[in-house]
Each structure stands twice: as structure tokens, then as C-alpha cells.
């Protein structure tokens, strides 16, 4: 296990898992441009780290939040061109999470608002404590979400529910978020990390290339016609027969033993 402290991000390597921690506790882990730069360089590093198979993204618990969103002080007298930069920079980091070659789990305690919520939407899974509150309150600032919220939220919860959350800007309790499929699991706050770790461990034992392929196939085909999606699925399925992990998975099944997937 090792810990690396950047200015606004902490990384705890616990192979095969890595915890990436948003850390500006005095501002409820609000997102600055520096935090986005640090997050993007940390993700870049972890994407090729052979010992890491799953990433967990959470907030520094001292900040009582996953993240309360983009730092609102950044918005004071912000010119439209600079706002465009903030939005596209945040979007690019959420895209990195979405296209990350390994599973990423958002571990949400306390507030996940605005840009913080949008970071969580870029993750493959969301686990929340039963005291978490999630939402897109930008409307209360006279704004709209700028980190992909208008695009990803409707795809996860449907258009009507997404409009409700974005237009009213009210915070959703985790039980309601679970009910609409926005979070995958909820648990008690004191069990959150342990439960997240268990889920991550299960993913870490799965064949990495197949996991990556699932992410790619679902993401790259979701807007196209089903015929194209099915063809891409079939060629991706076929390509997995070049992996040692498929040989291992099939022979482990036939010899009734647990497979050991190496990611080759
Ligand atoms: N940007 C900058 N600072 C933020 C912040 C944000 N998004 N969210 C919280 N903070 C700061 C507060 O200004 C406060 O700083 P201060 O102690 O220097 O005054 C500190 O974090 C603690 O927040 P506070 O509001 O006192 O905590 P609370 O428990 O009363 O309320 C929230 C928590 C999350 C409900 C409230 O902070 C909030 O509404 N934040 C803004 C959320 C938002 O609109 N996010 C989307 C931005 S686009």
C-alpha cells in the first residue's frame, strides 16, 4: 500500500485497487482547475499501471462530501470564453473516467452536487451512503450543468426525471437515487468504504480485457442502430478468443476450479 499526496488529490494504491480522493475539505471538496489537472494526470498514470485493476473515486471525508461541485468562486466575473474552458475541461475529465480502460466506482458520502455529481456520472458504478445527497443545483445560480449533466443524466434516469432534477435543482436522497437507478448500491456510512472495496475486489478478479471491452462496446454503440451495435458486439466477442484469459476462463470452468485472470 502506498499513498501519494498532490495538492488537491490523494491517491492510495492498494493493488489491485486504487483510491483517488478529491481533497479540498475546507470547501467541501469543491472542484478547482488545479484539481481537474491533478485528477487528469493521476488517471493517466493509473490507466497504464499494470498492478491496478479498479479505481475508486471518493471525497476526503473531512469535507463531508464526495464533492459540492465546481468552486463557485471561479465563476465571479467569469467571461464566456473562460466559462467555455471550465466546462470543456470538466467535461474532458469526466470523459476520461467514462473511457477509462478499467472499471471506476464512485463512492459517495455526503454531498455530490454539480460538477461533483457529474464526475460520479462518468463512473461505471455509484455506491452511496444512506446520508448522501445528489443533485445538479446550477439552476439556482442561473446556470445549467456544464460537466455533461444534461447528456449523461437523461441516459441513466430518462428524460423526464433528468429534467426534473436539472430544472428544479433539488437534492435527491440516496434512497431515491437508488430507486431511479442513479446509484447502484446504498449502505450505512461506516460500511461504505468496506462495501465499495468488496465490489471493487470482485471486479478486480474478473478478466480485465473483457471488462474493458464491455465498457467500449456499450459506450461506442449506444447512439447507433442496433444492427451496427450487434455487429460490433460480435466482432468484439470474437476478438476475445485471442486472449489467454478466455482460455483460462473456459478451462477453469471445465475443470471446476476458480479462474486466475491475468489480463493477457
Ligand atoms: N464552491 C465553492 N465553495 C463551496 C462550494 C462550491 N461549490 N460548496 C461549498 N463551498 C464552501 C462554502 O462556501 C463554505 O466555505 P466558507 O466556510 O469559506 O464559507 C464551505 O464550503 C462549507 O460550506 P457551507 O455552505 O458552509 O456548508 P453547509 O453544510 O451549510 O451547506 C451545501 C452545504 C453543499 C448545501 C452548500 O455548501 C452548497 O449549496 N454549496 C454549493 C453547491 C452548488 O451549487 N454546487 C454547484 C456548483 S456549479
* Catalytic site includes residue 118: yes
Among the listed residues 147, 7, 122, the one whose alpha carbon sits nearest the alpha carbon of residue 69: 147
pLDDT tens for 190-210 read: 999 999 999 999 999 999 999
Q: Residue for cell digits 474552458?
A: 85
Rg (CA), the chain: 19
Residue spans in the chain of domains classed CATH 3.90.226.10: 2-204
In the reported structure, the alpha carbon of residue 29 is separated from the centroid of ligand 1 by a whole-number distance in angstroms of 9
Cα separation, 27 vs 172, in Å, equals 21
Cα separation, 153 vs 74, in Å, equals 24
90 lines ligand 1 (CB under 6 A): no
Q: Which among 118, 170, 190, 248 is annotated as catalytic? A: 118
Which of the 8 DSSP states describes residue 26?
Answer: G
pLDDT of the residue at 54: 98
Angle, alpha carbons 202-206-208 (nearest 5°): 130
- Continuous segment of H or E residues that includes residue 106: strand 104-108
Q: What is the pTM of this model?
A: 0.97
pLDDT of the residue at 15: 98
Architecture of domain 208-255 in CATH? Orthogonal Bundle (1.10)
**To the nearest whole percent, how much of the chain has pLDDT over 90?**
99
Q: How confident is the model at residue 50 (pLDDT cuts 50, 70, 90)?
A: very high
Q: How confident is the model at residue 102 (pLDDT cuts 50, 70, 90)?
A: very high
Q: How confident is the model at residue 71 (pLDDT cuts 50, 70, 90)?
A: very high
pLDDT of the residue at 211: 98
Q: Where are the alpha helices (DSSP H) in the chain?
A: 33-47, 80-98, 114-121, 149-157, 159-168, 174-179, 192-204, 208-221, 226-239, 244-254
CATH topology of domain 2-204: 2-enoyl-CoA Hydratase; Chain A, domain 1 (3.90.226)
Residue spans in the chain of domains classed CATH 1.10.12.10: 208-255
pLDDT of the residue at 47: 98
Q: Which among 8, 38, 133, 138 is annotated as catalytic? A: 138
138 lines ligand 1 (CB under 6 A): yes
pLDDT of the residue at 210: 98
* Catalytic site includes residue 170: no
Amino acid at each position: 500500500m502506498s499513498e501519494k499526496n498532490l495538492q488537491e488529490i490523494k491517491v492510495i494504491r492498494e493493488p489491485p485497487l486504487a483510491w483517488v480522493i478529491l481533497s479540498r475539505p475546507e470547501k467541501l471538496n469543491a472542484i478547482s482547475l488545479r484539481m481537474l489537472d491533478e485528477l487528469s494526470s493521476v488517471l493517466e498514470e493509473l490507466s497504464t499501471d499494470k498492478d491496478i485493476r479498479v479505481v475508486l473515486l471518493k471525497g476526503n471525508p473531512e469535507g463531508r462530501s464526495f464533492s459540492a461541485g465546481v468552486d463557485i468562486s471561479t465563476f465571479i466575473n467569469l467571461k464566456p470564453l473562460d466559462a467555455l474552458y471550465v466546462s470543456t475541461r470538466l467535461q474532458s475529465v469526466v470523459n476520461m473516467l467514462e473511457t477509462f480502460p478499467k472499471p471506476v466506482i464512485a463512492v459517495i458520502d455526503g454531498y455530490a452536487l454539480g460538477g461533483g455529481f457529474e464526475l460520479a456520472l462518468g463512473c461505471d458504478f455509484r455506491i452511496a451512503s444512506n446520508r448522501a445527497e445528489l443533485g445538479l443545483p446550477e439552476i439556482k445560480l442561473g446556470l445549467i450543468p456544464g460537466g455533461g449533466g444534461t447528456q449523461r443524466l437523461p441516459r441513466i434516469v430518462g428524460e423526464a426525471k433528468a429534467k426534473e432534477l436539472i430544472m428544479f435543482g433539488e437534492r435527491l436522497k440516496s434512497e431515491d437515487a437508488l430507486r431511479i437507478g442513479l446509484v447502484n448500491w446504498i449502505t450505512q456510512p461506516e460500511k461504505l468504504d468496506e462495501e465499495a472495496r468488496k465490489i471493487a475486489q470482485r471486479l478486480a478478479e474478473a478478466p480485465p480485457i473483457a471488462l474493458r471491452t464491455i465498457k467500449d462496446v456499450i459506450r461506442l454503440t449506444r447512439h447507433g442502430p442496433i444492427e451496427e451495435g450487434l455487429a460490433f458486439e460480435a466482432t468484439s466477442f470474437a476478438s476475445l478468443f485471442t486472449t489467454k484469459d478466455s482460455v483460462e476462463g473456459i478451462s477453469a470452468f471445465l475443470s471446476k476450479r476458480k479462474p486466475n485472470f491475468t489480463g493477457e
